[in-house]
């Protein structure tokens, strides 16, 4: 049995357009004029329609042509069908107010409060029916972006995959954070060497087994000939903060972490890395080429780019 696609492959969709015009004009000559065809070409089209539907479709009368019962039943379906075809071919109209699409984005956990939270607040006010999902960043988002599981990914590396589009988001500076009652807070001046005498906490990055990964924080430290002693890595931000509050451990995180609502009273920045090129981490917004011509994706992308770091 032939599949739907096999059946439709033998159908010239232009015939449906011609039939729609014939049904509106009920005159072969006027229909030909509207479609910029000769009358003979229009007559041949009508014959093809009759062969396709195995029905005369029209009978001649003194005032033009009259549709058969078959043609009238088709006429009832054509407007909706042609409208849907128009939407498929020219889906460039986008209204945030009526958009109910779902978008997924992955981003480093330590940047989620600075990027994702204000993004949600911004989008909700303009596109109340739009849905968002956030996922923790992976070392490589290529497959997730290609498959459509992710629509966007915020990443620290610019990919080599030509199918991915990387838009610079900006650079982030780093600072070392502690609880307010940490022993170092009693010092007037705190150096990086002072901080490195204590152990650190860190967030896990979901790793792909085939990829060798060096945390950019460790890369920055190695350039200065030093390294941190990590006591614990966790994927849970709540666990990380609970341990930070109950011990003398330290955390290296983006400088804007000090301004995160809910944490600012329990966190203090005790050391700020110098804002040189070597000490900054550049972020990129990644998307797959399949989304470039989507008006909805482009709108969400602009909203992401508006979130300043």
pLDDT at 205: 64
Q: What are phi and psi of 272, to 5 degrees?
A: -110, 125
**What is the per-residue pLDDT for 211?**
41
Q: What is the CATH number of domain 174-279?
A: 3.40.190.10
Domains 102-171+282-305 and 174-279 share a fold: yes
Q: How far is CA 279 from CA 90, 113, 167, 213, 218, in A?
A: 46, 22, 21, 18, 11
Question: Top-level CATH class of 4-89?
Answer: mainly alpha
Please give the Cα distance from 111 to 114 (Å, whole number). 5
Q: Which tokens sit at 214? A: 């060096």
For residue 279, the tally of other CB atoms under 10 A from its CB is: 16
Q: For residue 275, what are the contacts with CB-CB under 8 A and spacing of at least 6? A: 173
Two tokens, residue 262: 């809910």
User: How is domain 102-171+282-305 classified at the CATH fold level?
Assistant: D-Maltodextrin-Binding Protein; domain 2 (3.40.190)
Left if phi > 0, otherwise alpha if psi is -120 to 50, otherwise beta: which for 193?
alpha
Bridge partner list, 66: 59
Residue 105: per-residue pLDDT: 93
Give the helix/strand (H/E) hosting 174. strand 174-178
Nearest to 28 by CA among 54, 5, 55, 49: 49
Burial class (CB in 10 A: 0-12, 13-18, 19+), 174: buried
Cβ-based neighbour number of residue 262 at 10 Å: 9
Report the alpha-carbon distance of residue 78 to residue 28 in Å, rounded: 18
- For residues 252 and 275, what is the distance between their CA atoms, to the nearest angstrom? 14
Pairing of the two strands 229-234 and 199-203: parallel
Whole-number Å distance between alpha carbons of 306 and 122: 10
**What is the residue extent of each domain of the chain?**
4-89, 102-171+282-305, 174-279
pLDDT at residue 175, rounded to an integer: 93
Residues of the chain short of pLDDT 70, as ranges, are 1-4, 6-8, 87-92, 139, 205-214, 258-264, 308-309
For the chain, what percent of residues have pLDDT higher than 90?
A: 36
Bridge partners for 223 per DSSP = none
Rg (CA), the chain: 31
Q: What pLDDT sits at residue 194? A: 96
Predicted pLDDT at 210: 41
């Amino acid at each position: 049995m032939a599949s739907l696609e096999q059946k439709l492959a033998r159908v010239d969709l232009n015939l449906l357009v011609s039939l729609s015009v014939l049904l509106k004009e009920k005159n072969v000559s006027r229909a030909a004029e509207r479609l910029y065809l000769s009358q003979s070409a229009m007559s041949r089209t009508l014959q093809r329609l009759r062969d396709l539907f195995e029905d005369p479709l029209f009978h001649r009368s003194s005032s033009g042509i009259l549709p058969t019962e078959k043609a009238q039943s088709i006429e009832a379906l054509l407007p909706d069908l042609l409208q849907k075809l128009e939407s498929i071919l020219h889906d460039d109209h986008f209204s945030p107010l009526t958009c109910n699409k779902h978008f997924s984005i992955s981003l480093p956990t330590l940047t989620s409060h600075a990027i994702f939270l204000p993004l949600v607040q911004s989008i909700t006010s303009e596109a109340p029916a739009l849905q968002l999902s956030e996922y923790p960043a992976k070392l490589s988002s290529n497959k997730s972006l290609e498959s459509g599981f992710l629509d966007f990914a915020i990443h620290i590396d610019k990919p080599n995959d030509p199918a991915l589009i990387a838009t610079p988001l900006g650079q982030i500076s780093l600072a070392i954070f502690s609880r307010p009652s940490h022993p170092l807070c009693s010092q007037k001046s705190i150096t990086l060497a002072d901080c490195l005498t204590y152990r650190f906490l860190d967030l896990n990055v979901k790793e792909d087994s085939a990829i060798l990964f060096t945390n950019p924080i460790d890369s920055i430290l190695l350039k200065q000939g030093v390294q941190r002693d990590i006591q614990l890595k966790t994927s849970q931000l709540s666990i990380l903060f609970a341990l930070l509050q109950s011990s003398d451990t330290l955390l290296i995180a983006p400088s804007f972490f000090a301004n995160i609502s809910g944490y600012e009273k329990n966190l203090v920045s005790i050391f700020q890395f110098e804002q040189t090129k070597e000490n900054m981490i550049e972020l990129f917004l990644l998307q797959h080429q399949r989304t470039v011509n989507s008006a909805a994706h482009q709108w969400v992308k602009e909203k992401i780019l508006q979130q300043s770091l």
